[in-house]
């Protein structure tokens, strides 16, 4: 490697924050509203979900060592599991990414509407704002990856700093009695979503899937291994470090907000951190935190739309999606693919419209986590089985089993009917691929 090439690569500290930043987004800003309908008991779910994310992170870090030029699930799934399972993993990951963008748009506009002269409690206002954000980010993405990278850097710095102030100085307003009273909110008179009491154990387990939405993005350390110095050493450090940073931030914030604002108010708010900031510092802090959160979530939306366009283009190049998704503009944007994705996201926004923002958010992230876990399971299975050319070591098998156990627990937290619908979707998509899919798929490593 030349000295110049080495200088352009990033080290363990920066790559750790890249991984953490890709996770700290809409889940951080809007999940408090969703989880308020279950209660503070979900702090235990946050701890368990962090451990599951670490198990999955170690698997991806191991794959990055074996496949240093890793760009897409197809790079590691097809050599181990074959073309069909590679198609399922790659396609489900791509679908989960653009459906997940809807959840980010829900969170972003939920905070942005606080600053606008509109009634944010009206579903029509929420969905119109979400659609406007989707097409705005589509237009910015057409300007090319460099513009997205610049805007995202700005959004990260100015979006997270005010929120960090809340997390640091909010403990002076923490009310232990309020926190204890909100431990399990099922059966409360105001809780129309969970009108009957549910046991703590059931709540902890059933909350794993929606909470894990906050950790989607843990695989990005492995996906950028090619730009990390000494990836065999630094990618595992970045992945595990990024997951732990995100996990600590999530756990601390989930405890804090439930001890400052009543659970009922949190559940009805489209901007829970702004609500909490107002209780800590006064009303002047509400628009400041709302602006910061909207900025960060919007930057995350732009970045993930870029990921969606790039992953769709790679899938098209490998015969998994129609060729139109693989066409790039002169500025390097997957223009037509992003256009079709933006149309699909608009449809999802309309189909998932709900009276409460938190309900719409929960519906979307439930679908996303189920789909992305399928791609994560393929990663674990690839490590466990290896390939003819690369037989799995004992450590590979251990990490592969850990990833599969994590995926099994996450899927088991879903209702059976949801899993049946998910399996039916996978079966239909696979059948369409077998009938219409490209036969001339490039061979991989």
CATH number, domain of 426, equals 1.20.1740.10
Report whether pLDDT(149) > 70. no
Rounded Cα distance, 122 and 231, in Å: 48
Q: How many domains, the chain?
A: 1
Residues 6+ apart with CB under 8 A from 252: 167
Rounded Cα distance, 70 and 20, in Å: 19
The answer to whether residue 290 sits within a structural domain is yes
* CA-only gyration radius of the chain, Å: 21
The answer to whether residue 87 sits within a structural domain is yes
The answer to whether residue 197 sits within a structural domain is yes
Q: Which domain holds residue 52?
A: 10-430
Report whether pLDDT(3) > 70. no
Instruction: Specify the pLDDT at position 156.
Output: 67
Instruction: Specify the pLDDT at position 444.
Output: 46
Instruction: Specify the pLDDT at position 260.
Output: 94
Contact (Cβ atoms closer than 8 angstroms) between residue 338 and residue 98: no
Rounded Cα distance, 220 and 207, in Å: 24
User: Quick one: CA dihedral 307, 308, 309, 312, positive or negative?
Assistant: positive
The answer to whether residue 441 sits within a structural domain is no
- pLDDT band for 48, please (50, 70, 90 cuts): very high
SS3 content of the chain, % helix, strand, coil (to 5): 75, 0, 25
Rounded Cα distance, 318 and 165, in Å: 46
Using a pLDDT cut of 70, give the percent of the chain over it.
90
Contact (Cβ atoms closer than 8 angstroms) between residue 141 and residue 331: no
SS3 193: coil
Closest to 18 (Cα-Cα) out of 225, 161, 166, 167: 225
The answer to whether residue 225 sits within a structural domain is yes
The answer to whether residue 286 sits within a structural domain is yes
Closest to 104 (Cα-Cα) out of 344, 357, 407: 357
Instruction: Specify the pLDDT at position 235.
Output: 78
Q: What is the mean pLDDT of residues 329-355?
A: 87
The answer to whether residue 1 sits within a structural domain is no
Tokens 């256009």 correspond to 339
Report whether pLDDT(6) > 50. no
Contact (Cβ atoms closer than 8 angstroms) between residue 392 and residue 409: no
Instruction: Specify the pLDDT at position 192.
Output: 85
Contact (Cβ atoms closer than 8 angstroms) between residue 297 and residue 104: yes
- For helices 285-317 and 123-141, give the axis angle rounded to 10 degrees: 50
Residues 6+ apart with CB under 8 A from 316: 322, 323, 324, 325, 326, 337
The answer to whether residue 442 sits within a structural domain is no
């Amino acid at each position: 490697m030349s000295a110049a090439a080495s200088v352009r690569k990033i080290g363990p500290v920066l790559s750790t924050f890249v991984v953490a930043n890709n996770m700290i987004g809409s889940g951080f800003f809007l999940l408090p509203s969703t989880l308020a309908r279950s209660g503070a008991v979900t702090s235990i779910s946050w701890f368990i979900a962090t451990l599951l994310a670490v198990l999955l992170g170690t698997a991806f870090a191991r794959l990055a060592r074996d496949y240093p030029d890793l760009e897409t699930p197809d790079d590691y799934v097809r050599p181990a599991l074959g073309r069909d399972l590679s198609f399922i993993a790659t396609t489900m990951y791509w679908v989960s990414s653009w459906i997940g963008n809807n959840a980010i748009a829900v969170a972003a506009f939920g905070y942005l509407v606080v600053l606008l002269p509109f009634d944010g409690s009206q579903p029509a206002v929420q969905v119109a704002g979400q659609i406007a954000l989707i097409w705005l980010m589509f237009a910015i993405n057409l300007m090319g990856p460099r513009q997205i990278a610049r805007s995202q850097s700005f959004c990260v710095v100015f979006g997270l700093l005010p929120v960090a102030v809340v997390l640091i100085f909010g403990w002076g307003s923490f009310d232990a009695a309020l926190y204890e009273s909100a431990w399990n909110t099922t059966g409360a008179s105001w809780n129309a979503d969970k009108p009957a009491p549910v046991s703590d154990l059931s709540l902890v387990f059933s909350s794993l899937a929606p909470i894990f939405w906050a950790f989607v993005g843990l695989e990005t350390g492995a996906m950028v291994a090619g730009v990390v110095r000494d990836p065999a050493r630094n990618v595992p450090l970045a992945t595990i470090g990024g997951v732990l940073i995100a996990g600590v931030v999530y756990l601390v914030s989930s405890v804090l907000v439930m001890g400052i604002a009543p659970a009922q108010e949190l559940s009805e708010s489209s901007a829970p951190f702004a609500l909490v900031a107002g209780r800590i510092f006064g009303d002047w802090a509400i628009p400041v935190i709302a602006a910061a959160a909207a900025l960060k979530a919007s930057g995350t939306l732009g970045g993930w739309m870029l990921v969606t366009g790039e992953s769709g283009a790679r899938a098209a190049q490998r015969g998994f999606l129609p060729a139109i998704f693989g066409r790039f503009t002169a500025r390097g944007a997957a223009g037509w693919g992003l256009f079709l994705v933006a149309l699909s996201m608009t449809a999802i926004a309309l189909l998932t419209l709900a009276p409460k923002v938190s309900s719409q958010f929960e519906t979307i992230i439930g679908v996303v986590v189920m789909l992305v876990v399928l791609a994560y399971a393929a990663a674990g299975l690839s490590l466990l089985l290896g390939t003819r050319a690369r037989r799995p070591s004992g450590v590979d098998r251990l990490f592969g089993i850990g990833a599969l156990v994590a995926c099994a627990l996450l899927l088991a937290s879903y209702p059976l009917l949801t899993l049946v619908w998910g399996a039916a979707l996978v079966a239909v998509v696979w059948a369409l691929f077998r009938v219409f899919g490209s036969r001339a798929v490039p061979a991989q490593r």
